[in-house]
Amino acid sequence: MANYVRPSVRSGAKTLPARYYVDDKVYGLERERVFARSWVCVGRQEQLAQPGDFFLAEVAGESLIVVRDRADTVRAHFNVCRHRGTRICDAAQGRFGGSIQCPYHAWTYGLSGELQTARNMELVPDFERADYPLVSAAVRVEAGFIFVALEPPPAANPPLAQLDAKLAAWQVETLRVGASARYELACNWKLVFQNYSECYHCPLIHPQLTKLSPPDSGRNDFFDGPVLGGYMTLRHSGSSMTTSGNSLRPLGRVSGDDLLRVYYYTIFPTMLLSLHPDYVMTHRIRPLGPARCEVVCDWLFAPDAVASPDFDPSDAFDFWDVTNRQDWHVSELSQRGIASRAYRPGPYAEAEGLLAAFDRHYLATLEG
């Protein structure tokens, strides 16, 4: 919900045509050209505390086994046996006992993907186990977040490189998930990004938010490219974006002006990152079709706070759960209106400069 203090809407900038929100063919292109070729955030490395810990992630329609191997490296293997293509794992998360075994014919792989055992294959001419490891996706772990790329990732900077200084001050790598929520929305995934990127709507949709943070405050740090956004200010020193307005202890090395700011960034194409003085919130967005998407929201806190027996994240969780649901409602209304034959692309307001920037980057990626 970053806001704007200088002209950022190019002359004639309008919303995207309806096909980008409702067309199955566009959605198919997005899978291949946007999501399969980008760094996609799938979770936090704390989900993989020990070797053998795993969870499943879906990216561009592909199932991945995200696992920590014996060398303490995070891997992402396609969930496909090299024998006859069987899906190996259907548990959402768990721990492998040292290896990964296909349930069909018991081909067995090491945690790092190498084929260890292939029953009854020793008499097959020219068969070599080394030729049949699990196919793996590229993996990056940044600030504790796990990113994967199905195809060789672009030569651009790592997904969070532009935010290194901020993430270091917040010590995001050390934070722990204190609360999570999953939402399924009846709207296109891009509408979630676009709604998050402006506070033009805040006075009408978020009365409790505007009491804590002026909708016309702040400025943007990034105006073009895969990372967009900036900060908004809190109305009162020592306050927080919580139901009570009360703040926890500031995170990491957060100090000075940052104690009165909340930074809101979009990381194309699947992540929203909100840096509050006392907690961090993320949204991970996964398309489920042209008009449906899943949003997983995590609230991250200092590790000692989460470990405390009286830890209670509800003050932050409840505030944003209400705010999220307000946003989801208007995003779904937007989807329904865009699907109408009466819809025509409309002009962006000055407070919607980041939406126009998102559209430019999206179209360049889709058409690239």
pLDDT surpasses 50 at 2: no
Q: Which residues of 124-149 are buried (b: 16+ CB within 10 A; e: fewer)?
A: eeeeebeebbbeebebbebbbbbbbb
pLDDT surpasses 60 at 7: no
CATH numeric code, 40-149: 2.102.10.10
pLDDT recorded at residue 84: 97
DSSP 353: H
pLDDT surpasses 60 at 98: yes
pLDDT recorded at residue 155: 60
Q: What is the pLDDT of residues 278-327, one digit of tens each?
A: 999 999 999 999 999 999 999 999 999 999 999 999 999 999 999 999 99
pLDDT recorded at residue 47: 98
pLDDT recorded at residue 99: 98
pLDDT surpasses 60 at 342: yes
pLDDT recorded at residue 8: 65
pLDDT surpasses 80 at 190: yes
Q: Which residue has the tokens 């760094």?
A: 39
Q: What is the mean pLDDT of residues 22-37?
A: 97
Q: Going by C-beta distance under 8 Å and a sequence separation of 6 or more, which residues neighbour residue 323?
A: 206, 208, 209
pLDDT recorded at residue 183: 98
pLDDT surpasses 70 at 4: no
Q: What is the pLDDT of residues 103-112, one digit of tens each?
A: 999 999 999 9
Report the predicted TM-score, pTM, of the whole model to 2 decimal places.
Answer: 0.95
Fold that domain 19-37+161-367 belongs to in CATH: Naphthalene 1,2-dioxygenase Alpha Subunit; Chain A, domain 1 (3.90.380)
Going 191 to 196 to 198 to 200, the CA torsion angle's sign is positive
Residue ranges of domains in the chain:
19-37+161-367, 40-149
- Could you tell me the pLDDT band of residue 10, with boundaries at 50, 70 and 90? confident
Is the previous residue joined to 153 through a cis bond, with omega within 30 degrees of 0? no
Q: What is the mean pLDDT of residues 92-100?
A: 97
Q: Are 268 and 361 in contact (CB under 8 A)?
A: yes
pLDDT recorded at residue 12: 85
Q: What is the C-alpha to C-alpha distance for residues 295 and 183, in angstroms, rounded to an integer? A: 5
